[in-house]
Structure 1
Amino acid sequence: MDTRTRETGSVLRLVSAFSGTFMALLDLTIVNVAAPSIQADLNTDLAGLQWVVDGFALALAALMLSGGSLGDRYGRKRVFLSGLGVFVVASVLCALAPTLAVLVAGRCLQGAAAAVIVPGALSLIGQAVPDPRDRARVMGYWGMAGALAVIAGPLLGGLLVDTLGWPSIFLVNVPVGLAAIVIGLRAIPESADPRHAALDPAGQVLVIGALAALSYGVIEARSHGWESWITIGSLTAAVLAAVLVPLVERRVIRPLLPLGLFRDARFTITNLASVALGFAANGGFFLLSALYLQQLRGHSAMETGLALLPMTLSVLPASLVAGRLNAAHGPRLPMLTGYVLTGAALAAMTVFDAGTPYPVVAVLFVVAGVGQGLAITPAAAAVLETVPLERSGIAAATVNTARQVGTALGVAVLGTIVAESRDPVHGMQVSLLVAGAVTLAAAALLAVRWRAPERPPAEQVPASEPVAD
């Protein structure tokens, strides 16, 4: 095989991985601008809309650890392409859903498929580009693919909803998914590391139970009351399941979540920060697009997509800059900068009301978009740097799981704060203040507790080797 053929194969391999990432992440944002249309057509309330968003996020968060392990065990190509196929089928189910229950079921199936696609794409990149510096640059391009999904979601979703109706936002996945499958069948080589993979049914059930019970207790508390046995029972079950997870994982030979990975402070802090970013940025995005721009400011779906452009467009160049900063200085600098910008922007958004001048809104959207673009890509690169190559699947799955756990909690908690408030404007302002505070707390953790990779003391370095500066 000549050099040109190998280079073409590598490019096509990345195209398939990036396309799968684009499709999976598109559905994190595109549904938000369709929320009012779905609410009217399926006759639901804010809690129903929360489940449409959280059905996807919960399945993605709960199953992503298994998704990474499946690729490591049974073959990264096989599992990645199977996930793409399931996602296409689930998208058709969502588009044809006659009731809220069917739509939520389709969203859960989409999330389960995305739980295979996202870590699978990152693991394919890790296998294809083993050099850390080259991989950091490629991760910047992967971040651009995700940023393009963020950009396209609100704008494409608004256009489709206003012209073809909300089902079309799911049908758009069909050609993208099929193209990624065709390219991947040809270009992706098979690889696996079954000795390092794990399928842990007990741990998986506990993770699903903890997230589902917590989300149900928070979202449905408005209907049942915080003092009801259903709410208290759900929240208690979530706590018990969460406590049991590490106890079970310590006894499993090949656990779903290898606790040893968390001995590295960088790995632990990156995952905690990712939970915070998902909670604040993605939970806040749901409120801004579904509630603030459409219900409080009266924008149509298309107008909402255009209003969100300053935020979504700023993510793309910031992701590219993040990749370059990460390659040159490591992940901490772009992550810390991104978290500070995102947290400050969300906190400042507490001034928003129905009459806030749009230039003020646009400026804060830009700051938030730049912050997210700087924060997301280095987080994935950071965890890949802390593990050996054969653990790339589980490492990639862990950091993405953390962010999606945050997303599910953010949509549930921030949406419930709004629902519990008598004044929706005040409720939104309180929610955004909480989101900003959580993000800035994560920034403080990155600033204070992050430790650079350890180097041997100067006196232990052999005389023939220079001491690193």
Structure 2
Amino acid sequence: MRTAPADAPVGRREKRLTLAVVCSALFLALLDSTVISLALPTLQRDLHTNVAGLQWIVDGYILLYAALLLTGGTLGDRFGRRQLFTVGMSLFVVGSLICAAAGTVAVLATGRAVQGIGAAAITPQTLAILAQVFPEGPERVRAFGTWSAVSGLALLLGPVAGGAFAQYFGWPSIFLLNIPIGLVALAAARRLPSATAVKKHRPLDPVGQFLAIVWLAALTYGLVEGPKSGWRDASVTGVLAVSIVALVALLWVQHRSSHPMLRLDFFRSRTFSGSASVTFLVAFGLNAGFLLLSLLLQLLGGAEPSQAGLRMLPAMAAIVVAAASAGRISERYGPRLPVVAGTALAGLALVLLSVVAVDRPYALWWPLLALMGLGVGMVMSPNNALLVSSAPLDAAGQAASVGGAAQQVGALLGVASLGAVLTGTAPGEASSSPVEAAPHSVLAAGIEHGLLISGMGYLAASALAISLMRKKVQRP
């Protein structure tokens, strides 16, 4: 494969094109992790599915995204980042077509899985491409700032856009929107600088990748199907046992491998371990909380999807405001303060929501959404900075990939655990029937318990941040 040297000059026009292309692709990949949050009641009604079906629609995407994210970066290093970016974008467009044409939960979940594979190939290449095209200094800082802004915007707009499209144009329009943007990004990717293909010979870790997929798939299946089939069902206990064995084997293989997919030595740093744990718990609470609030606003509150999106705006606006000020707070007082304070605020807000939101008018509890958003917005940037700065300098990219994987695994397990919370831990009749068919009291109690668990996750993250993160980080 012919490549340009890493220091090949890149013109201003190519730089702008590169930034536009990678940010468009990143926007789609992150948008689709949250875009169906407020469309779930509509999907449930149109596809006549149950809690488990809704979980597979969400987790079909996140499962493959989380499992393949670390390998996506390695493949880009080995075969060329531009090439893998193109493959990932192609898969994402194909998966969107499958989703838009789906008439059953199985087909929709399959399309979401294909999308997830594409997103796992796309996401690691975006920062790597920018790092190669933009030299160190103000240009790179501005490019990375744009990348971060697009990431936040995608996560925030996802629920609002998904709810509005589902209500006015039907839920397939959510996925049809990806196709023209994806095709334009594919066409423009041909013109990306050739310097985006480097390090062809970085070894792969196929055994580790296989074990990671087995672990996450088995654990997700057990958590999703347990409430439906019963926790003592042989198939459920069997796959949960497989997940435990696969996790132990994965850790053993990564410990002994000379080129591990997941570098366990990172976790010798208390700060890295604390930051990774915070990332996991924040994603767990945020994704579970958003889906629970969607069900609360629509199934219990009677709001249309677009109305539910507007009612989530206090949280989203607060995230933007807090994220803008988190950097300044971190510079003045250190990153640990906003991480501890942010997780504590978000946890407190969710715990209070579990007490006051169900069966009370929205006007009485919307300020708690703003409080939750303030907490979430304070955490993200300082925590990511702690995560990367606590790893060796030459492994910052791998550390960032571990953080991304922790985020996606947290989101995956947060959604997967909702079935047990919403329907009870016993084999539930409500779990095998549509969500809206569940008795009001059962659904209300499930949402209360789910919000409480999400809040406790944030409070646990705050405690971990206090105990594990040093005030000053010295790079190893």
Would the TM-score normalized by the shorter structure come out above 0.5? yes
Match of 1:43 among 41, 45, 48: 48
Q: Normalised by the size of structure 1, how large is the TM-score?
A: 0.89
SS at match of 1:186: coil
Q: Which residue of 1 aligns with 2:218?
A: 213
CA deviation profile, 1:293-342 (whole Å, cap 9, x unmatched): 11111111111111111112222233333345556665434333322222
2:62 pairs with 1:57: yes
Q: Does 1:242 align with 2:247?
A: yes
SS in structure 1 of the partner of residue 252 of structure 2: helix
> Are the aligned partners of 2:391 and 2:475 in contact in 1 as well (CA < 8 Å)?
no
Cross-structure match for 2:35? 30
Q: How many Å apart are 1:20 and its aligned residue? A: 1.7
Root-mean-square deviation over aligned CA pairs: 2.5
Deviation digits for residues 104-145 of structure 1 (CA, Å, limit 9, x no counterpart)? 011111111111222222333444556588766654433321
| Distance (whole Å) between structure 2 residues aligned to residue 390 and residue 81 of structure 1 | 26
- Alpha-carbon distance between aligned partners in 2 of 1:126 and 1:373, rounded to the nearest angstrom: 25
Which residue matches 2:74? 69
In 2, Cα distance between equivalents of 1:78 and 1:326: 37
- State whether structure 2 residue 375 is matched by structure 1 residue 355: no
Q: Which structure 2 residues correspond to residues 97-112 of structure 1 after superposition, within 5 A?
A: 97-112=102-117
Determine the C-alpha separation between the residues in 2 that align with 1:11 and 1:236.
Answer: 50
Matching of residue 192 in structure 1 with residue 203 in structure 2: no
1:223 aligns with 2:228: yes
Letter in 1 for 2:66: A
Aligned residues with identical type, % of pairs: 39
Q: Which digits, 9 at most, give the CA deviation of each residue in 1:83-124, with x for residues without a partner?
A: 122111111110011211111011111111111222222333
Count of matched residue pairs: 451
Q: What pairs with 1:122-271 in structure 2 (closer than 5 Å)?
A: 122-128=127-133, 131=136, 138-188=143-193, 189-194=195-200, 197-271=202-276
For 1:191-241, what per-residue CA distance to the aligned partner results, in whole angstroms no more than 9, with x for missing partners? Answer: 42345x442111111111111111111111122111121121121111111
Q: 2: distance between equivalents of 1:339 and 1:403?
A: 15
SS in structure 2 at match of 1:217: helix
Given residue 154 of structure 2, which amino acid in structure 1 is its aligned partner?
Answer: A
Counterpart amino acid of residue 440 in structure 1: L
Work out whether 1:450 is the aligned partner of 2:469: yes
1:56-99 per-residue CA deviation (whole Å, 9 max, x = no partner) reads 11111111111121122222222123212211111111001121
Give yes or no for contact 1:379–1:399 (8 Å, CA) kept in 2: no
Cα offsets for 1:421-465 (capped at 9, x unmatched): 762111111111111111111111112211233399xxxxxxxxx
The verdict on how the C-alpha distance between 1:270 and 1:130 changes in structure 2, with shifts beyond 3 A counting, is farther
Q: Distance in 2 between matches of 1:158 and 1:223?
A: 27
Partner SS, residue 334 of structure 1: helix
Segments of 5+ residues of structure 1 without an aligned counterpart are 457-469
Deviation at 1:409, TM superposition (A): 0.7
Write the distance in 1 (CA, Å) between the matches of 2:218 and 2:173: 31
Aligned to 1:88: 93
Partner-residue secondary structure (3-state), 1:205: helix
Q: Is the 8 A contact 1:141 1:320 kept in 2?
A: no
Structure 1, residues 161-213: CA drift from partner, whole Å, max 9, x if none?
Answer: 12211000011112222333344433444142345x44211111111111111
Which residue identity does 1:190 align to in structure 2? Answer: T
**Range moving further from structure 2, 254-263 or 317-326:** 317-326
Unaligned runs of 5+ in 2: 1-8, 426-440
Q: Report what 2:400 is aligned to.
A: 396
Q: 1:232 to 1:174 in 2, by over 3 A?
A: same
Structure 1 residues 207 and 128: CA distance shift in structure 2, 3 A:
same
Q: Which residue of structure 2 lines up, in the alignment, with residue 14 of structure 1?
A: 19
CA contact (8 A) 2:386 2:473 kept: no
Q: For 2:184 and 2:393, how far apart are their aligned partners in 1? A: 28
1:377 to 381, 406, 427: 381
2:198 partner letter: A
AA aligned to 2:58 is V
**For the Cα contact (< 8 Å) 1:217–1:232, is it kept in 2?**
yes
| Structure 2: distance between partners of 1:205 and 1:455 | 32
Aligned partner of 2:435 in structure 1 is none
